[in-house]
Chain A
Amino acid sequence: MNKRISLLLLIAILLGSLGVSAVSAQDATDLSLWVFVDRHGLFMQNQAARWNEVNPDRPINLTYEQIDYTQMHDNLLASLLVGMGAPDLADIEISKFATFTKGDIQLIELDDAIEPYRGDIIETRLAPYVANGHNYGIDYHLGSFVMYYNTGILSAAGVDVDSIRTWDDYIEAGKKVTQDTNGDGTPDVYMASVETSGVMTARGIMLMMGGGAYDAEGNLILNSEANVKALQFVQDLVHVHGIARPTSGGEHHSPDHFLDLVEGRIASLWMPQWYMTRFPDNMSSQLAAVEVIRPMPIFEEGGYTTTMGGGTGTAITNQIDPSKIELAKEFLAFAKLTYEANVALWTDLGFDPMRVDVYDDPALLITMDDFSGEVPFEYIKAGLANVAPEYTGPYYPEIATIMQTTMMYELIENKKSPQEVLDAAIAELQAMGADVGG
């Protein structure tokens, strides 16, 4: 009899424990996320685990799905259009974001979730994901522009990398570095490479000179004086100073271009900080012994020291169960904007964080074998003195497409004047229905 009772008790305990675990699993709120970069998904899952430690009473069960870049955005657009099939949260790349804020916006406002952190972050980083005055996305990084130098090439030409402070210094150094080594009449080593089917080279300079696609008030400023000057500067690097060449394959992610870097045909380039990951990932760390990171050269004392490039905002779609909205918003801000999250942005993802107060955290100030054993973050930080903001607007995706397809190509390959290519872009945007002002 006793045996039977103890057996029943045992079964009861077992069932009970199963029940408890079933209940706790039920209590965890399921959140789904679409990403196009697997590392983003892993990062968010780590953040969910951290959230569960801090908030054991409101656990989250985050599952993510990684889909190819184009397909993910197209699928998301289609699901939002038909009103079903979208995930709770989704990554939207910066140049696609404005596509998602056309018509009735199908994303959830994040204003109140971001509010507690506003004072701690570089606020202009939120600007790309603002529509009608409301925030709809939070980025993974600051994406500040830095200069990548191959010190092997520089030293061989007698240039000390730390002597380059201004763009004038850069051009002077470039003239020493750019060389025709095999005597066929054209240089084989160039100081820089300029993208003809990518946007970063030009956009970085445009923003640092105070230009860009839109201003803070949402006006289209593509053909502004600042942009004309910026494009002239880029064109001159190639055609007047002769220190830059059009990027092999057209943009800085083409395999041809990586080969140029590895084989020492390009001495430097400016790209956002996240381009650091390309050195181990796409170039098998072959430049580890010579590559260093330095702040962007400056145009004038007191001017902008860098700007931001690229980015991906995580948004909450309106197809989320209404009861989960508050939790999802709180979690999203927690995963991207808290101190610990920003340290993790560097340690887990290798991205420069948007919170200023983590810049002195020992976790960020580490040496890296891929960059000559230096502490890259010291130099990234040094460049953040005066970050030029980037604003986006309804035609930001179209502007990116125009820059990628014809603008830079006409400017560099066909030597058209900056004013001409910018006016052509404005005319094209106007034909699409954009309000081009004046």
Chain B
Amino acid sequence: MVVFLIFKVYPVILAVIMSFQNFQGVQSQEWVGLTNYQNVFNLVRFNQALANTTIYTIGTLLILIPLPLVLAVLLDSGRVVQSTVFRTLIFLPALTSLVVAGTVFRLILAEDGFLNLFLTSLFGVQPLRWLEVSDLALPSLILVATWRWTGINILYFNSGLVNISKDLYEAAVIDGASAFQMFWRITLPLLRPTTLFVVVLSIIGGYQVFVEPFILYTGGGGPGDGGLTMALLIYRTAFTSFNFGTAAAMGVILAAIIFVFSLIQFRYFGVFSKED
């Protein structure tokens, strides 16, 4: 409890306090009211970072919910060989050090890298400059996220699937339901709590994304800051500009965004399930 208070609660309170102080460099801090919050909205990059982070989060949601869900159902259906090696392989990316992953992805995404080789030989696409063009920064980051989180999300969905009684499927089969109907009418509704959990986690993770762009673009936001995220901008404001006040204000805004999104999720899903 003490540890929790010192390492979790105290920094949060301190950050909120700092967001109302002029905290640039090492000097005595003074109260400045909402100036830091005004500064945040004046920062040229803030809107860009917010937009990038939102697009990234939506992108990860669009891929990291359906893809692991379908894969989990496939795994659960018993039609795929489920060896321990296979399961470990799926889970491995989450355990890999992001520093190593970043380096490997720099090679994969290079102009003559594996991804271009794959796209060119399969679809005849001209080689893309993944790491050099601003518009490709977010797709590159989403690609890294897909690699990293698919396994974990499969695991979440899998544990949800285990809890669905097999009797329901047997009854459905007797009633002549197709595989798709069973998926749509049984699996999906009963997996709702798990899905909600994964969605909320993905939103939180999406808005907090930091390490992936940090490693992929060696400390920066990528070409033209196309991969600049909120967390990176907070870091940059604190540790490059040494302006902890404005950085803290940005942190509070980010926390508020995540909080609101999570709240909406819970309410929406809550109401939805009551109607059901």
Contact = CB atoms under 8 A, between A and B. Distances in A.
B131 A397 contact: no
A40 to B, nearest CB: 19
B110 A255 contact: yes
Interface in B217-248: 217, 219-225, 228, 236, 239-243
A246 B111 CA distance: 13
Given A103-B26, A431-B44, 20 more contacts: A73-B239, A77-B239, A77-B242, A80-B26, A102-B26, A103-B25, A197-B223, A248-B110, A250-B223, A254-B106, A255-B106, A256-B111, A256-B131, A397-B241, A405-B222, A409-B223, A409-B224, A413-B133, A431-B43, A432-B39
Contacts of A397: 240-241
A250 B241 contact: no
Report, nearest first, the 10 A-B pairs whose CB atoms are least far apart: A103-B25, A102-B25, A103-B27, A409-B224, A405-B225, A428-B44, A102-B242, A431-B42, A103-B26, A99-B242
Contacts of B54: none
A419 B130 CA distance: 28
B24 interface: yes
B24 A102 contact: yes
A70 interface: yes
B239 A432 contact: no
Contacts of B221: 405
A46 interface: no
Interface in B89-122: 106-107, 110-112
A398 interface: yes
Contacts of A73: 239
A407 to B, nearest CB: 9
Contacts of B111: 248, 256
Main secondary structure of the interface of B (DSSP, over half): loop
Contacts of A100: 242
B136 to A, nearest CB: 12
B224 A410 contact: yes
26 contacts: A74-B239, A80-B26, A81-B26, A96-B240, A99-B242, A100-B242, A102-B26, A103-B24, A103-B26, A104-B26, A105-B26, A106-B26, A196-B132, A197-B132, A197-B223, A255-B107, A256-B111, A256-B112, A397-B240, A397-B241, A398-B241, A401-B220, A405-B225, A409-B223, A410-B224, A424-B44
Interface of B: 24-27, 39, 42-45, 106-107, 110-112, 131-134, 217, 219-225, 228, 236, 239-243
A105 B242 CA distance: 12
Nearest to A253: B218
B239 A99 contact: yes
A327 B240 CA distance: 31
Given A255-B106, A401-B236, A99 B223 contact: no
A335 to B, nearest CB: 27
A347 to B, nearest CB: 31
Contacts of B224: 405-406, 409-410, 413-414
Given A255-B107, A413-B133, A404 B220 contact: yes
A431 B237 CA distance: 13
A52 B269 CA distance: 72
A249 interface: yes
Contact of A248 (B44, B107, B132, B243): B132
Contacts of B112: 256, 259
Nearest to B134: A409
A398 B243 CA distance: 12
Given A99-B239, A103-B25, A398-B240, A428 B45 contact: yes
Interface in A392-423: 397-398, 401, 404-406, 409-410, 413-414
A246 B240 contact: no
A197 B131 CA distance: 10
B228 A405 contact: yes
A133 to B, nearest CB: 17
B163 to A, nearest CB: 43
Nearest to B246: A432
A409 B224 CA distance: 5
Contacts of A431: 39, 42-44
A401 B224 CA distance: 11
A431 B47 CA distance: 13
A250 B26 contact: no
Contacts of A405: 220-222, 224-225, 228
Contacts of A413: 132-134, 223-224
